Structure formats: C-alpha cells, structure tokens
A and B are shown apart, each in its own frame.
Chain A
Amino acid sequence: MSAGFYYGTEVFLNGLMTGVLYSLVALGFVLIFKSSGIFNYAQGVMALFAALTLVGLQDGQVPFAHLINSIFGTQVHHFGWHLPALLAILLTAGVMVILAIVVERYILRHLVNQPDIILFMATIGLAYFMEGFGDLMWGSEIKKLDVGIPQGGNLWIEENTAFLGGDDFYGFYLDSLDIVAAVFAGLLVLSLVLFSQYTKTGRALRAVADDHQAALSVGISLRFIWVVVWSIAGFIALVAGIMWGSKSGVQFSLSLIALKALPVLMLGGFTSIPGAIVGGLIIGVGEKMFEFLIGAPFLGGATENWFAYMLALVFLVFRPQGLFGDKIIERV
C-alpha cells in the first residue's frame, strides 16, 4: 500500500468528521423547516450568537461595554468573575430559549400565512440583526472558547493504527475535538429521535409538521410548538457553536457555517433528519476528497467553497426533492 493511499484514507476520515459537524448545523434547519415551513437562514448566526454569549458569560464580560463606554465615557469591560463551563452552557441555553420566545412573539406571530419566501427573507433580516446585535453586545474581536474539550491529534488512534502501514507511516491523524463533536452529534440525533417519538410534546411537534390546521383543531398550541422548535434549534446552534468555536475561535466566520449546511440540506432533502446526517457525511467526505484528488493538484485549490454546491446542484437536477425529501406533488 502506498503512502498516498493512507493519506487519502486520512483525508476520508477527516472529511467524515467535518461532515458530522455540517450535519449538526443542517439538523437545526431541518427541525425548523419541518415544523413551521420556515427556511431559517439565521441558523448559522444563531450558532455564532450562542458561542459569543457562552464566551461572554464565561469570562464575565459586561454586555454592550463598548456602547456604554461610548455614551457615558466610562471604562467598564469585565465583571471580574469566571464561570465554570457547565454553568455558562446552561445559562446560554437559557438565553437561546429567551431568543426563541422573542422570535416567536415579535416575528413569527405577525407573519403567519405569509408566503414562504417572505418568511425566508425575514430570517435573513433576523440573521443581520443578530449578527450586529451579537457584536454590539460582546464585541467583534476573535475570542477563544474553551469548555474543556480535548484538542489536537488523538494519540491513541495514532498509535493503534501505526501498524497498518510501513515504517514511514505513523498512524492516522484525527483531531480529538472532531471525535468529541461526532459523539455529541450522534447523541443529539438519538435524543431528538427519542424525544419526537416517545414524548407528548414530541408527538405534538410531529403533528404540527404534518398539518398545521389539523394540529390546531385537536388543541395543539402552534405558538408553544414554535417556541419549543426554535429552542431546540437554539440548543443545536449552541452545540454547533461550541464545537466550531473551540476549533477555530469565536468570530464572524462562524456564521458562515450556515452556508456550508445549505448544500447538505439540498442533498438530503429539507424535510428529512436522516437526510441531514447522510447529506452532511457525503458533503464532508466529498469536498475533502475532491480537494485532495482533483482540486489541489489540478484546479489551484480552495475548491471547498463551491464543490458542495455544485454537487448538490447536479444531484438535484436528477432528483429535485433531494435524497430523502418528501416527494413534491403539485396541483393546480
């Protein structure tokens, strides 16, 4: 076996790990789309906002410090405490619930029965709003997020796979963070499936996803369900924000993971949870392998930006509803 083969395998495995993170973001989209028909562009910014809030709470930053200093000429910046990671995560989860309530109360409630495209645009507006608001609240400099997840190459895997190759092969390099992220994503999906299958709220959620009016007529409160769904999407955003934030710092580019999740959705279908997972894995592996085999050697690199979109585009031409999406039936 050549070194190229092992290197390719490593790229494959790393693609798989990245794919899990894509799936995580895509999952948030699918949940909201299924239950309210809203394509929530703000999911990526929600992840950024969650990560910013987490760091801010952990380090005891004063919210709106920059603004307060500009108006009153003061010099406040930190409260001076340092919260334990778990407490900060719980508090941030609380903030995401409040966010869900605010979004339902001030945006969704007023846009019931509007065409889908109007709702989509409203979430773009929300994304802009939260992006500015998050920066205003916590400052826009790059922050380090550390909640105690191990980072760097995983030695155990490296040592235990070294025997596979020759003398110049030292085992597969996998980031521990990616492995933790994959485990968390798996747990999250499992608990979501259990939640939606075996709890009363979960059943109500599925009922709303199937038919709004029928759900209303049997006494399910649409508004409550929307708050629940947006909260869950907020938790998923929080998890995604923690993983991506630990990996590359909390900064504006974190919100761009939404753009990475979009082709995943197209590939998997907007309405399918398994689709989001499988689509994420395909895109993660596909773009890494394409960059490794074709992009870097022949096309000058950086193909990861568009490969996923092209793949999804070509795929959709043959199967317009995605891999697992509901069949699109249209009537006049």
Chain B
Amino acid sequence: MFYREAGDFKTTYADDSQTFPIKFDRYRYWAVLAFAFLVVPFIINDYWLNAVVLPFLIYSVAAIGLNILTGYCGQVSLGSGGFMAVGAYACYKFMTSFPGMDIFSVILLSGFVTAAVGILFGLPSLRIKGFYLAVATLAAQFFLVWLFNKVPWFYNYSASGQINAPERTVFGYAVTGAETHAWAVYLVALIFVVVLAVIARNLTRGSLGRKWMAIRDMDIAAEIIGVNPMTAKLSAFAISSFYVGVSGAMFFVLYLGAVEVGEAFGIGKSFIILFMVIIGGLGSIFGSFAGAAFMVLMPVLLKNVMVGQLGWATDLAAHFEFVIVGGLIIVFLILEPHGLAQLWRLAKEKLRLWPFPH
C-alpha cells in the first residue's frame, strides 16, 4: 500500500538512477541513518558496544570488502584474515611512528597499505582461476600471519609480541586506549561504515562494478567485449583489500585494543567473513550487513540461551555453535543460495503488490 512506485514521478535523469527508486525505501534509509546517528549514541553502553554493535559494524566493512571481490568480481578469497592483519599492523606502525596523526587518517592510510598488499597477492589471479585461486589466497593468509609473528619490526620489538593501541582522541574524547567513551567509539566506527558502504554501493552500480560482474559471469566473454581483465581483477583486489584493511585496523584500535596476530587474524577469521558473505548474499551490499549481523548475533544469542538459560558448560555451547553454524550454512545453500539478501528482495516484491497480489 505504501511500498510502491506508482505516483512517484521521476523528472530528471538523476532521479531515474537513484539508489532507492521507491519513496518508502528512501524514507526508511534516512530514518535508519537518523536512528543510528541521533538515537543510538545516547542509549549505547559498553556491553552493547563490545558484544554486538562494534563487531557488527567492523565485520560489515570486512564483509563488504570480501563481497566486492567474491560476490561482484567472482574471485574467491580465503585470505581476508591476513589482509585484516595487514590493516591492523599498518595502523599500529602509523600510530607509533607518527603520534600526531589523527585516527581517521591513520585508519584510511592502513587501508591504502592493505590495498597495495592486496594487489600484490592479486597478481596470480591473472593466471590462476577458480579453486586454484581460492587455495592460492591461503598463501597470503599463512604468509602474512607468519610475517607479523616473526619480524619484530612490525610489533616494535615488544617482549610479548603483541601490539597495543595507544590512546587517541577525537575532539578531546578518547576513542582508543583504555579509557574510552562507548558513544565516541561507536560514532567513529559508524562514520566509516556509512561512508564506505555508500561508496561501495555506488562503485558496484557504476562502470567499474559492471566490469567486475562481467568478469565474474564469464571472464573470456568479458575480455572479448572489451573489459580489461587485468585492471578489473586488480582493481577488485585493491578495493576489496582496502575495505578489509580498514576493518582490520578498526578491529585492532577500536575493538580489541591489543592483538596477537595468530589468535585475532587466523584462518578462522577468513572463514567467518566468507560465511557472512555467503549467508548474507553474494553480490549484495545489504547482504553484507545482514550476514555480519547474523554471524555476530547468533553466537551471542546461543550463548545466552545455552549458558545463561540452560546452565550448560561453555565448551558444550561452543561445540553446539559449530554444529549450528555449519548446519545453517548447508541449509542456506540448499534453500536459498543467494542468501538473506534474496529473502529481502522477495519480501520487497511481495510488499509492492500487497494487499492486492493479483
């Protein structure tokens, strides 16, 4: 009834190609943004920030990054954990080498460093395809984690081998370090997420995104119609790594504060991000958010139910979590290979006709 395009006349080209063609969607979008920026900062506390909101925001960025590479450009990567580590360590080196730099530039610069590393490990994709490439990206994962473990320069020769985020402030409020304000940390993360998501959405709608999708659907055919596979693949690797690197940097400075590379950015991390992309939906920015929300919320929920309500041991709950995550992935792939995003699309189709479906 409210969700329809009838009566919403487009009079300019800009109107015609906007992200949300339906009026209701536009209002909803602004309402969500207003809620996130104007309401949440006043009600958020440390528990909600660290258990749910911050991991969700950070993983969303990583999932968008991997979705650009895997969902839009069709290059499966299992090295996201390694690239997140690059972002985190670059961030650490920038913060300790240039104490005067503000946190926004530091995180962005870490993203650019990761993009460069991503291009390097993306080079084999020009020759290697499919599973071979997926396995080849594992090389990045193992090599990078080993590198950050073994070369003391990266962790400033600290005795523990850990990296710790020094304190940084934004307008006088601490956002990293020991004494932070929940709302300040939240706002920093939110600004990154919103800006990066809008950029990603528009990139994938533009000519670059179309090139990626052409490569994904059939790379030889794409090459024949004039898409340069080298620039398309490498740009996907670069931009994807930029996103993953930014999320790694945020994961380190905003969320964990102290990082041991094998523990925080191991191969498990790569798989979790891949699951987010699959469950959310390959080739969808909304799907990246949905997948991240799902993978962050589900363990919290399971833990609350099994440990809190039923009083089981935590290791038992952890095993159940594996079973449920694995089972859900299989169920999702069988019932809805296009993920939560497809359910959302179907719901919207239904809504447009509601309440008169015929």
Residue of B nearest to A132 (CB): B322
- Residues in B with CB closer than 8 Å to A320 are 127-129, 132
Interface of B is mostly: helix
Q: Complex Cα distance A310/B278, Å?
A: 27
Residue of B nearest to A107 (CB): B330
- Residues in B with CB closer than 8 Å to A312 are 135-136, 139
- Residues in B with CB closer than 8 Å to A186 are none
A70 beta carbon closer than 8 Å to chain B: yes
B325, A128: Cβ atoms closer than 8 Å: yes
Q: Complex Cα distance A127/B328, Å?
A: 12
- Residues in B with CB closer than 8 Å to A130 are 326
A252 to chain B, nearest CB (A): 11
- Residues in A with CB closer than 8 Å to B136 are 266, 309, 312-313, 316
A133 beta carbon closer than 8 Å to chain B: yes
A136, B319: Cβ atoms closer than 8 Å: yes
B154 beta carbon closer than 8 Å to chain A: no
- Residues in B with CB closer than 8 Å to A129 are 322-323, 325-327, 330
B157 beta carbon closer than 8 Å to chain A: no
A131 beta carbon closer than 8 Å to chain B: yes
A192 to chain B, nearest CB (A): 22
B319, A135: Cβ atoms closer than 8 Å: yes
B146 beta carbon closer than 8 Å to chain A: yes
Contact residues on B (Cβ < 8 Å of other chain), bracket: 35 or more
B14 beta carbon closer than 8 Å to chain A: no
B22 beta carbon closer than 8 Å to chain A: no
- Residues in A with CB closer than 8 Å to B131 are 39, 116, 120, 270
Binds B, one of A85-93, A207-215, A226-234, A297-305: A297-305
Q: Complex Cα distance A133/B150, Å?
A: 35
A161 beta carbon closer than 8 Å to chain B: no
Contact of B329 among A116, A125, A266 (CB under 8 A): A125
A302, B150: Cβ atoms closer than 8 Å: yes
One digit per residue, 1 when the CB lies within 8 angstroms of any chain B CB and 0 when it does not, for chain A 266-280 equals 100010000000000
Q: Which of A307-332 contact B (CB under 8 A)?
A: 309-310, 312-313, 316-317, 320, 322, 328, 330-332
B187 beta carbon closer than 8 Å to chain A: no
Known: A107-B330, A125-B327. A70 touches B218 (CB 8 A): no
B138, A132: Cβ atoms closer than 8 Å: no
Residue of A nearest to B313 (CB): A70
Known: A124-B329, A306-B146, A316-B124. A259 touches B138 (CB 8 A): yes
- Residues in B with CB closer than 8 Å to A300 are 150-151
Interface centre among B150, B323, B330, B337 (most CB of A within 10 A): B330
A118 beta carbon closer than 8 Å to chain B: yes
A316, B224: Cβ atoms closer than 8 Å: no
Interface of A is mostly: helix
A266, B135: Cβ atoms closer than 8 Å: yes
Known: A125-B329, A312-B136. A259 touches B267 (CB 8 A): yes
Residue of A nearest to B138 (CB): A309
A122 beta carbon closer than 8 Å to chain B: yes
A114 beta carbon closer than 8 Å to chain B: yes
Residue of A nearest to B76 (CB): A117
Interface centre among A118, A299, A306, A310 (most CB of B within 10 A): A306
A306, B329: Cβ atoms closer than 8 Å: no
B39 beta carbon closer than 8 Å to chain A: no
Q: Which of B97-146 contact A (CB under 8 A)?
A: 124, 127-132, 134-136, 138-139, 142-143, 145-146
B312, A70: Cβ atoms closer than 8 Å: yes
A126, B326: Cβ atoms closer than 8 Å: yes
B320 beta carbon closer than 8 Å to chain A: yes
B316 to chain A, nearest CB (A): 6
- Residues in B with CB closer than 8 Å to A140 are 315, 319
One digit per residue, 1 when the CB lies within 8 angstroms of any chain B CB and 0 when it does not, for chain A 45-67 equals 00000000000000000000011
- Besides A122-B329, A262-B135, A332-B221, 5 more A-B contacts (Cβ < 8 Å) are A126-B326, A132-B321, A140-B319, A302-B150, A305-B146
A-B contact pairs, 18 of them (CB 8 A): A39-B131, A66-B313, A66-B316, A110-B334, A111-B334, A117-B76, A128-B329, A129-B326, A132-B324, A132-B325, A133-B323, A135-B322, A262-B135, A309-B138, A313-B124, A320-B129, A320-B132, A332-B221
Q: Which 9 A-B pairs have the closest CB atoms?
A: A132-B322, A129-B326, A128-B326, A125-B329, A309-B139, A132-B323, A306-B142, A306-B143, A125-B330
Residue positions of B touching A, CB distance < 8 A: 76, 124, 127-132, 134-136, 138-139, 142-143, 145-146, 149-151, 218, 220-221, 224, 267, 271, 274-275, 278, 310, 312-313, 315-316, 319-330, 333-334, 337
